[in-house]
Amino acid sequence: MRRVAIEFAYDGTDFFGYQRQNDVRTVQGELEKALERVFKMPIQTYAAGRTDTGVHANGQVAAFDCPNDKLSENDIRNALNANLPKDIYVKKVWFTSENFNPRYEAKRRIYHYYILNSKMNDIFLRRYAWWFPYELDITKMRAGAKYLIGTHDFTAFSKKGEEEIRTERTITAIRIVRLKKNLILVRVEGISYLRGMVRSIVANLVKVGVGSWKPDKILEVLESKDRSKSAGLAPAHGLFLYKVLF
Amino acid sequence: MRRVAIEFAYDGTDFFGYQRQNDVRTVQGELEKALERVFKMPIQTYAAGRTDTGVHANGQVAAFDCPNDKLSENDIRNALNANLPKDIYVKKVWFTSENFNPRYEAKRRIYHYYILNSKMNDIFLRRYAWWFPYELDITKMRAGAKYLIGTHDFTAFSKKGEEEIRTERTITAIRIVRLKKNLILVRVEGISYLRGMVRSIVANLVKVGVGSWKPDKILEVLESKDRSKSAGLAPAHGLFLYKVLF
C-alpha cells in the first residue's frame, strides 16, 4: 500500500456537494466509484475540504491508499481520468507519506469567487459566475474587506448548521480585481473556514460595493457575531476551491 | 403587426440543433414556445442561420411579427427573457421593416471556433472548446487558411446532406489568434456557408497546425472538391455563431 495524493478539478453544477451520500450524485461518491473500477476494491478517500452543492474546484486535494504498487503516478492519473465522469478531472498525482491527510495538513486554502457585473447576462458564465447587474465599486469592497483580515470570530459570516466548538478562523488575504470590464474576482486566502464563510464574505462585500452599506459596516457585522446582521450568502455557483497549499 | 428583430445567445449543449422538430428540444422550438407564452398565440420566427446540434451562438438573429403594438423594444426583451430557459438569452430587440428576413438579408456571418491546445484538460471549457492536446503551430495554420479566402467551390469542406445546387461560397477573412497560452480562436468571416463548413475548415487547418499536412495541402483539398480528401469535421461544441452583419 502506498498513500497517494491527487489534485483534481470538478464542475459542481451537477453534484449534490462533495461528501458521499446514499442515492445522490456527489464528487466523493463518483471519485470513489472510479477508484473502485480501477483497483477492483473499495477505496476510501480523504479530502482537504468539503464543498457545498454547486460549488466548483480547480484544485481540490484528496489522498487514499493505493493497493497496487506497480502503477506510476502517471498511470494512476490516466486510469482515473479514463474512469471519471466528464465533470471531474485529475490534474496531478503524487506519492506521499503514509499518514498524509489533506484536511489536517493544509496550510492555506484559496477560494475564487466570480461576479458578472453587467446589465447584460452572459449565458456562457451562468454556471460559473454570480450575475449581479448593479454597478459595484471595488474600491469600497476592498476597504470593507480589510476588516476581515486576521483571526476573528466569523460566526456572523457563516451558515447555520452543526455548531462549531471554535468559531475563530484566520483570513490571510482578500484580493478583489476586475479581470475584464464586467468580471470581478474575489480571491480569499485563509487557513480554514466556517461553513458558507466565503459566500457570506462575498455577499456582505457586495452590499458595500453597491453602496447600501459603508465599508465599516463589515466591522460592525463581524463584531456582532450575529448571523441576522449579515447579508446572507452569495450563490454557490460563483465559488471555486482554487488551490490548497501544504 | 410590427416586424421585430432579435439578437440572442444560446448554449447549444442541451439542444438538438436550431431548427424546430417534433418531440426534441431545439432552440427555435423553445424560442417560439416563449413567444407563444408572451403573446398568447403561435408566432413563427425566421432566423439568420440554422446551427447544428451542440453549436452555440453569441449573436444569432431572428425576426417575427409582433401582434402587440404597445410593447416597447425593451418590454419585448424583458418579457422574452422572463419566459426563455436559462440557456437562451435575448441581448437586443429592435423594430424593423415589414419584410425583414435575416436569412436573406445577412451580409456577413462570423463564426468563432475555440481550441483548448493543452496537454491538460480544462473541464470548465469542456462544453465550449475542442480539447486538442498536441501542439499546434498557428503560423502554419494561417498559411493554410490563406488558400480559402475568396469565392470557391467548398464541397470538400462540407458535410454530406441535402445536395446544394450551388456549392460556391465566399470566405472574406480567417483570423487565427492565441487568446491565452492554451486557447486558440479561429474566426471565420463569410457571406454564407455550406453545411458543416466552418467545422471542416477547422479540422483541416488543425491537420496543418499539428504538422501532418503542409499548408498547401489545403489548396489541394479545396481543388479536389472531394469530401474524402478532407480531414472531416471538428467537434460541434467548439463552434459559436458569433455575429450576423446586415
pLDDT in tens, B149-175: 999 999 999 998 777 789 999 999 999
Query: Does A54 score more than 90 pLDDT?
Result: yes
* B88 interfacial to chain A (CB closer than 8 Å): yes
pLDDT for the residue A72: 96
Q: Higher-confidence residue: A174 or A22?
A: A174
Q: Residues near B182 by Cβ (< 8 Å), separated by ≥ 6?
A: B116, B117, B118, B122
Query: Does A165 score more than 90 pLDDT?
Result: no
Query: Does A53 score more than 90 pLDDT?
Result: yes
Closest CB to B124 among A11, A81, A126: A11
For residue B243, the Cα-to-chain-centroid distance in whole angstroms is 8
Whole-number Å distance between alpha carbons of B214 and B217: 6
**A-interface mutation test, from B123, B180, B240, most A Cβ less than 10 A away:** B123
Burial status of residue B107 (CB atoms within 10 A of its CB: 0-12, 13-18, 19 or more): exposed
Mean pLDDT score of chain B, rounded to an integer? 96
Percentage of residues in chain A with pLDDT exceeding 90?
Answer: 96
**Which grid cell sits at A41?**
476494491
* B10 interfacial to chain A (CB closer than 8 Å): yes
**Cβ pairs bridging A and B (under 8 Å):** 36
pLDDT interval class at A217 (50, 70, 90): very high
| CB count in 10 Å sphere of residue B227 | 16
* B70 interfacial to chain A (CB closer than 8 Å): no
**Which grid cell sits at B146?**
490563406
Contact A116, A106 (CB under 8 A): no
**B-interface mutation test, from A6, A123, A242, most B Cβ less than 10 A away:** A123
What SS3 string covers A79-122? HHHHHCCCCEEEEEEEECCCCCCHHHHCCEEEEEEEEECCCCCC
Whole-number Å distance between alpha carbons of B77 and B97: 18
Contact B241, B109 (CB under 8 A): yes
> What average pLDDT does the segment A209-215 reach?
98
**Which grid cell sits at A19?**
461528501
Question: Helix, strand or coil for residue A219?
Answer: helix
Contact B190, B200 (CB under 8 A): no
| A91 contacts in chain B (CB < 8 Å) | 120
> What average pLDDT does the segment B226-230 reach?
95
Binding site feature residues of A? 111
pLDDT in tens, B74-98: 999 999 999 999 999 999 999 999 9
> What average pLDDT does the segment B98-117 reach?
96
pLDDT for the residue A160: 84
pLDDT interval class at A164 (50, 70, 90): confident
Instruction: Give the residue from A187, A216, A191 showing the smallest Cα distance to A204.
Output: A216
* A89 interfacial to chain B (CB closer than 8 Å): yes
Residue A205 has phi, psi (to 5 degrees) of: -70, -30
Q: Which residues of A52-91 are buried (b: 16+ CB within 10 A; e: fewer)?
A: bebbbbbbbbbbbebeeeebeeeebbebbbebbbebbbbb
| CB count in 10 Å sphere of residue B97 | 9
pLDDT for the residue A207: 98
CB pair distance less than 8 Å for B9 and A124 = yes
Active-site residue among B11, B52, B87, B153? Answer: B52
**Which grid cell sits at B97?**
421593416
Closest Cα of chain B to A227: distance in Å? 32
Active site residue B52: yes
Contact B134, B119 (CB under 8 A): no
Whole-number Å distance between alpha carbons of B37 and A147: 49
pLDDT for the residue B244: 98
pLDDT for the residue B35: 98
Q: Which residues pair with A72 in a beta bridge?
A: none
Percentage of residues in chain B with pLDDT exceeding 90?
Answer: 96
Contact A31, A57 (CB under 8 A): no
| B86 contacts in chain A (CB < 8 Å) | 123, 126
Query: Does A209 score more than 80 pLDDT?
Result: yes
Continuous H helices in chain B: 27-39, 73-83, 102-105, 138-145, 197-209, 217-224
Q: Residues near B147 by Cβ (< 8 Å), separated by ≥ 6?
A: B215, B216, B218, B219, B222
The full set of domains in chain A, from first to last, is: 2-104 (3.30.70.580), 107-245 (3.30.70.660)
CA A53 → CA A14, A17, A191, B87, distances in Å? 8, 4, 22, 20
| B56 contacts in chain A (CB < 8 Å) | 124
pLDDT for the residue B107: 97
Residues B2/B7/B11/B17 CA torsion (nearest 10 deg): 60
- Vertex A105 angle, CA A99 and A109, to 5°: 145
Q: Is B111 annotated as a binding residue?
A: yes
pLDDT for the residue A105: 95
For CA atoms A148, A152, A156, A160, give the dihedral sign: positive
Residue of A nearest to B119 (CA): A91
pLDDT for the residue A216: 97
Whole-number Å distance between alpha carbons of A219 and A25: 39
Instruction: Give the residue from A157, A209, A160 showing the smallest Cα distance to A188.
Output: A157
